[in-house]
Amino acid sequence: MSEIVGQAVLEKSVADLVAASDEPALIAKLIPGCDGLHRIDAEHIEGRLATQVSGIPIEAAISIRRTVEVLDGGVTRLHLRLKVRPDIGGHAIVVALIDLTEANATSSNASWRTSTELDPMLAVMAGQRVEDYLRTSIDHLIAGLAS
């Protein structure tokens, strides 16, 4: 498991970022290779992706769990958990905790930490490449919420 942190000013209000994170069509556009997502319930969306990881074609099921909590000090925490299950077996998970605060009326300060987890089979087959794909995907997703 590896962890990474980041921060940025995103050009949307906290309310707009939270609303964007609840749009399956937008989320699908932001995940490389995602064919589309559909809502399962209030917290879950799922779909399929077909992409390449270090030149190796991968087809997989993807599921995303999204929750929002309001913390003390005007912080809204967006919790995203992406689980990818390649057709060849195994699974990979990336979890992002994104803390949002208002910078002004049209932008927000965002700070996040992400962690990845690979099942042993996938870790042996393509560990670092899969972790790189997951980190790139979640960073792209966070930045894309403000687009």
pLDDT tens-digit map of 37-46? 999 999 999 9
Given a contact cutoff of 8 angstroms between Cβ atoms, the answer to whether 46 and 63 are in contact is yes
Average pLDDT score over residue span 17-25 = 94
Helices (H), the chain: 14-20, 24-30, 120-144
Rounded CA-CA distance 118/126 in Å is 10
- Of 42, 35, 78, 37, nearest to 58 by C-alpha is 35
Q: Which two tokens stand for residue 76?
A: 């809204």
Rounded CA-CA distance 130/18 in Å is 27
- Confidence bin at 103 (pLDDT 50/70/90): very high
Residue-range domains of the chain with CATH: 2-144 (3.30.530.20)
Given a contact cutoff of 8 angstroms between Cβ atoms, the answer to whether 122 and 91 are in contact is yes
Average pLDDT score over residue span 131-137 = 77
pTM of the model: 0.86
Rounded CA-CA distance 32/86 in Å is 14
Residues paired with residue 111 on neighbouring β-strands, in sequence order? 7, 99
pLDDT at residue 125, as a whole number? 64
- Would you say residue 140 has pLDDT above 90? no
Between residues 119 and 1, the one the model is more confident about:
119
Rounded CA-CA distance 42/91 in Å is 23
pLDDT at residue 79, as a whole number? 96
Rounded CA-CA distance 140/119 in Å is 23
Mean pLDDT, rounded, of the chain = 88
Contacts of 41 (CB under 8 A, 6+ apart): none
pLDDT at residue 122, as a whole number? 65
